[in-house]
Amino acid sequence: MRVTFCTDLDKNVVVANCEKRGWIQVGPEDDWNIYWAGTLTCRSLFSVDSGYRMNDNQIINHFPNHYEISRKDLLVKNIKRYRRDLEKEGNVLAERGDSKYLHLDFIPVTFVLPADYNMFVEEYRKAPQSTWIMKPCGRSQGSGIFLINKLSKLKRWSREANKNPLQPQLAKESYVISRYIDNPLLIGGKKFDLRLYVLVTSFRPLKAYQFRLGFCRFCTVKYDSSVAELDNMYVHLTNVSVQKHGEEYNALHGGKLSVQNLRLHLESTRGKEVTERLFDQISWLIIHSLKAVQPVIATDRHCFECYGYDIIIDNKLKPWLIEVNASPSLTSTTANDRILKHKLLDNIFNIVVPPSGYPDVRWNKIVSTEALGDFELLIDEDILNHGNHDDTASLDRHSNRSANFYRWK
């Protein structure tokens, strides 16, 4: 039986990968096995009105309510609830010290505005000198983001947003306000963030894989936390869509340094131990961000999803989760980008399609070592629960640090 695929994205990397496998492209009305869809298409497909029912040989690249993790406000809400629940259970993971969570303190302090305004003000007063970053919940690619360091500025913004008769939606738009990481790790004097890819093939039980390749996105301008530069987004935002418009943008490298090279630099300058700890902490925060949404994501055997994780590392080598994208960009800005994204898609298909080569949701979704490619197994609750982790060599990474491994549980 030939595999058929369908996509509503005009992305060559998707089509090229499918065609390379000998899959046949069909329209959405036809009998497709694999749908690589935009989030909107996906949502309407799952909506009650559509009446579409998938059969056992159909898979699709989003979960119906992925926004539980990809919307900035919902992610924060879910993580806060997750911590509270663990705390109620008396779980050691939710241990606190100095009022902060010791192990689950991986997102900057965040509030949703206007809803949590009073809570924000209370927090703000604790450290009135600090800088906060405002982000519209529903937008992406750095649009609508600004920094504030005075409460008055926030008030002025809120007045103006309410006043604007031409854009009444602006008033309703909700924002998250987060403590700004003003001590980011700098390389060559410049700020960067990490873009990592995580594939989830199931939320209950949780099965997640982390892509070993990824990149750092650099600001083109030297980092400067002074007030004068507060409004200069080229200093603060690493989004390629922002940086691209800067004078200093270089299209040959696109401001992107590979994660392997970041690792080499950190190991060389700071040592192996702290570098390993950093990368372990990154895996840790990814796993717990997924566990935080695990109970609320509508689980559906037809779904898999690839998330783009945005992480900022501070100068104490602590990683902070900034946000999660459910449709990470597949556009390539440079030659290496193209190679990376091609590999990413190839490896995703290797994992989501069973060894038979034909999509089948009844498959137990336990992936052989060979099929992992550049993905590493982050967590598979099936394997954890059955204790038969011998057959997955990818857990090897943690075998010499078994203590680390067991904390995944």
Partner 1 sequence: MEEIKDKSIHHTALRLCEDLKQNPTYKGLYTDVQKLVSSSNVKYEDFKESLSKSMKENGLEAELRNNVYHWVRSQNKDNLCYASFDSFFKKAQIQWEKRIHKSLNSMCSELGIHLARIRFTQDREELIEKWGELSNYDVDINKYRPVYSPKDFLEVLLNLKGPNYKHRGEEPTWDFSHIPIKVKDLSELRTLYSELSHGEAVMGMNTSRYMSSSYAAFEAERIALGERVVLSNHAPVAQEYLKKGCPPCLRKKMWTLVLGSEVKETHYHYYEKLKTHVLQYDLMVDKLIIKDIHLTASNDDQYFVFEDVLHQILLCFSRDAEILKQLSNKPGYMQVVLKGKPSTPENTLIFPPSGVIPFHGFTMYAAPFCYLFDDSVALYFTVRAFYLRYWFRLHRVCGHSQGILCLCLLFERLLQCYDPVLWHHFKKIHIPPIRVVFKWIMRAFSGHLPPEQLLYLWDLVLAYDSLEAIPLLAVVILIFRRDNLLRVTTLQNIEAVLADLSSIAVMSMLQMALSKE
Q: Cβ 277 to partner 1, closest distance in Å?
A: 13
Distance of CA 37 to the CA centre of its chain: 18
Give the residue with the Cβ less far from partner 1, 45 or 393. Answer: 393
Radius of gyration of the chain (CA): 22
Q: Check if the beta carbon of residue 176 is closer than 8 Å to that of residue 137.
A: yes
* Whole-number Å distance between alpha carbons of 393 and 369: 6
Give the residue with the Cβ less far from partner 1, 34 or 340. Answer: 340
Q: For residue 245, state whether it binds partner 1 (rule: CB under 8 A).
A: no
Give the residue with the Cβ less far from partner 1, 255 or 308. Answer: 255
Q: For residue 28, state whether it binds partner 1 (rule: CB under 8 A).
A: no
Q: Kindly tell me which residue out of 265, 318, 342, 365 binds partner 1, with binding defined by CB under 8 A.
A: 265
Give the residue with the Cβ less far from partner 1, 115 or 264. Answer: 264
Lateral strand order in the sheet of 59-60: 24-25, 4-7, 34-36, 59-60
Q: For residue 368, state whether it binds partner 1 (rule: CB under 8 A).
A: no
* Whole-number Å distance between alpha carbons of 344 and 347: 5
Q: Can you read off the two tokens belonging to residue 216? A: 């750092």
Give the residue with the Cβ less far from partner 1, 190 or 301. Answer: 190
Q: Can you read off the two tokens belonging to residue 69? A: 């993790």
* Whole-number Å distance between alpha carbons of 214 and 272: 19
Q: For residue 317, state whether it binds partner 1 (rule: CB under 8 A).
A: no
HSE at residue 128, side-chain half, CA atoms within 13 A, is: 5
Q: For residue 403, state whether it binds partner 1 (rule: CB under 8 A).
A: no
Q: Total binding residues for partner 1 by CB under 8 A?
A: 38
* Whole-number Å distance between alpha carbons of 368 and 216: 29
Give the residue with the Cβ less far from partner 1, 46 or 211. Answer: 211
Q: Kindly tell me which residue out of 102, 115, 127, 264 binds partner 1, with binding defined by CB under 8 A.
A: 264
Choices 185-193, 195-203, 324-332, 379-387; region in contact with partner 1 by CB under 8 A: 185-193
DSSP 398: H
* Whole-number Å distance between alpha carbons of 45 and 300: 13
SS3 percent helix, strand, coil of the chain, rounded to 5, is 40, 20, 40
Query: Collapsing DSSP states into helix, strand and coil, what is residue 293?
Result: helix
Q: For residue 167, state whether it binds partner 1 (rule: CB under 8 A).
A: no
* Whole-number Å distance between alpha carbons of 128 and 121: 10
* Whole-number Å distance between alpha carbons of 35 and 37: 6
Q: Kindly tell me which residue out of 44, 130, 143, 369 binds partner 1, with binding defined by CB under 8 A.
A: 369
Q: Cβ 29 to partner 1, closest distance in Å?
A: 40
Q: Kindly tell me which residue out of 44, 130, 162, 250 binds partner 1, with binding defined by CB under 8 A.
A: 250
Q: Kindly tell me which residue out of 99, 226, 269, 356 binds partner 1, with binding defined by CB under 8 A.
A: 269
Query: Collapsing DSSP states into helix, strand and coil, what is residue 86?
Result: helix
Q: For residue 120, state whether it binds partner 1 (rule: CB under 8 A).
A: no
Give the burial class of 276: count Cβ atoms within 10 A of its Cβ; 0-12 exposed, 13-18 middle, 19 or more buried: middle
Q: Kindly tell me which residue out of 373, 378, 379, 380 binds partner 1, with binding defined by CB under 8 A.
A: 373
Q: For residue 334, state whether it binds partner 1 (rule: CB under 8 A).
A: yes
In the chain, the amino acid numbered 77 is K
Choices 27-35, 141-149, 296-304, 365-373; region in contact with partner 1 by CB under 8 A: 365-373
Choices 109-117, 233-241, 246-254, 286-294; region in contact with partner 1 by CB under 8 A: 246-254
Instruction: Provide the binding-site residues for partner 1, judged by CB under 8 A.
Output: 187-190, 218, 221-222, 248, 250, 252-258, 260-261, 264-265, 267-269, 271-272, 275, 334, 336, 369, 372-374, 393-394, 396-397, 399-400
